[in-house]
Structure 1
């Protein structure tokens, strides 16, 4: 699933996040059973080699700036999972990809902010997976394909980024710039179609998502692609199925979506 986060705003009640916060709080109740573990692909961690947190109790990384003091005191004391970190690496290596375990890296806000709302009891083990510094869309789809078996083992793979991430445009939209909303809608409609249209084959979906910059307003929606690529990983893990639209609304004055596979 691709989530949508605006720093700590969904948790501390920032402007334009009410509907998103309500969605995140209600999401766990829609699942048939609690996940055995959570693997979060965050748009805030890039490495030359796919890397996973492997500590038993990772710290939190408050990688945002200029927010209220309370936002730097947030806690999410869920356990880590060295066992899941090992499993992630073994799956990636079996697919011919390298993998590095990082016992010092903590969870950034792309992980702990949405999880505070989705799984607030903080009892399910969590591992965070980095993006590739190459930002190659096809390679991120391949990562997801390798990790697909985790879903059969009860692990929820969560892509934490945003379907729209142009910060100047977000600030303009919050200030009432209607053009930002209109342009975000064009990209969002394209993204929803590509991810959810059952008439598209997996191969076609992968091809189009790999060339997402050709989408209407693609470079405007994502001047830099790191917040979109978690979707590519989750898509690759989705067993070739069409995605399901689970959030379709506004956040911070622009159109945003969240897609679920599996």
Structure 2
């Protein structure tokens, strides 16, 4: 089984700009990269790419997509010169189509900030080939769980799967004043998510059902008015099919957030 990790990637380029409210994120991602075997390839499912069906980057030398606005000029000069993995992308497209999940290769789109920002922290040498996989319009939880199941049947143990989203993603709340009621809502959903991903007393069928119906969790739509930042987690669980091995709870932008690791046994 491949190593699998869901990360909360923070606000745009802020983790690379020394923003104090992202220091725990930087520390956690740095630690994470030392707790898993260095992969030979990485596939990232980012919250910042949605398409009519699954698309996967296919370039040998992917560029970057600076998909954020209003940040310092230095934010648009970041480089992450990793190689792509065209053959791996082709294998995944073939497997997804065979499973009746429409998938195509993407020849032009660069890696967005949900990819290059965390990878710059985790693997700053950019010496690991990387491809990006899109979410699918409609944001159907069950479909994204199935995509993960196909991935795990496709990938070797030396491939790292990263679901790059954010366990809390209410943009208005990030910029509102601290409020005990809102903090409790944030924490209630986090508690539910941690239990769902790590609870050993939950059957896998129940775990999958909880994720399929995530919007029934406490304050789900407060924490995720739109679910694109949560669905990379569904792909991760679909690939893992079991409780995670480690939970990382942290503060990002003064909100409670979490990350989850499913690690290869024996490392």
TM (norm. structure 2) is 0.93
In the TM superposition, what whole-angstrom CA distance separates every residue of 1:142-186 from its partner, at most 9, and x where no partner exists? 0000101345341111000000000111112xx433333221100
CA-CA distance at 1:93 after TM superposition: 1.7
CA distance in 2, matches of 1:241, 1:180: 31
**2:222 equivalent to 1:217:** no
CA-CA distance at 1:47 after TM superposition: 0.6
Query: Counterpart in 2 of 1:251?
Result: 252
- Contact residue 181 and residue 253 of structure 1 kept, 8 A: no
Query: Counterpart in 2 of 1:37?
Result: 41
Query: Counterpart in 2 of 1:127?
Result: 131
Aligned CA-pair RMSD: 1.2
CA distance in 2, matches of 1:218, 1:207: 15
- Contact residue 50 and residue 135 of structure 2 kept, 8 A: yes
- Contact residue 35 and residue 155 of structure 1 kept, 8 A: yes
Query: Counterpart in 1 of 2:105?
Result: 101
Query: Counterpart in 2 of 1:144?
Result: 148
- Contact residue 188 and residue 257 of structure 1 kept, 8 A: yes
Query: Counterpart in 2 of 1:24?
Result: 29
1:114 corresponds, among 118, 137, 142, to 118
CA distance in 1, matches of 2:160, 2:204: 20
CA-CA distance at 1:250 after TM superposition: 1.1
Deviates more, 1:118-127 or 1:13-22: 13-22
CA-CA distance at 1:212 after TM superposition: 0.6
Deviates more, 1:177-186 or 1:99-108: 177-186
Higher RCO, 1 vs 2 (CA within 8 Å, ≥6 residues apart)? 2
CA distance in 1, matches of 2:134, 2:158: 21
Unaligned runs of 5+ residues in structure 1 are none
CA distance in 2, matches of 1:186, 1:193: 11
CA-CA distance at 1:221 after TM superposition: 0.4
**2:265 equivalent to 1:261:** no
- Contact residue 194 and residue 247 of structure 2 kept, 8 A: no
CA distance in 2, matches of 1:36, 1:52: 18
In the TM superposition, what whole-angstrom CA distance separates every residue of 1:7-49 from its partner, at most 9, and x where no partner exists? 1111111241111111112221111x21110000000000111
Q: How does 1:164-179 map to 2 (within 5 A)?
A: 164-172=168-176, 175-179=177-181
Q: 1:150 to 1:261 in 2, by over 3 A?
A: farther
Unaligned runs of 5+ residues in structure 2 are none
- Contact residue 41 and residue 129 of structure 2 kept, 8 A: yes
In the TM superposition, what whole-angstrom CA distance separates every residue of 1:31-78 from its partner, at most 9, and x where no partner exists? 1x2111000000000011100000001110000111111111111000
Query: Counterpart in 1 of 2:184?
Result: 182
CA-CA distance at 1:192 after TM superposition: 0.4
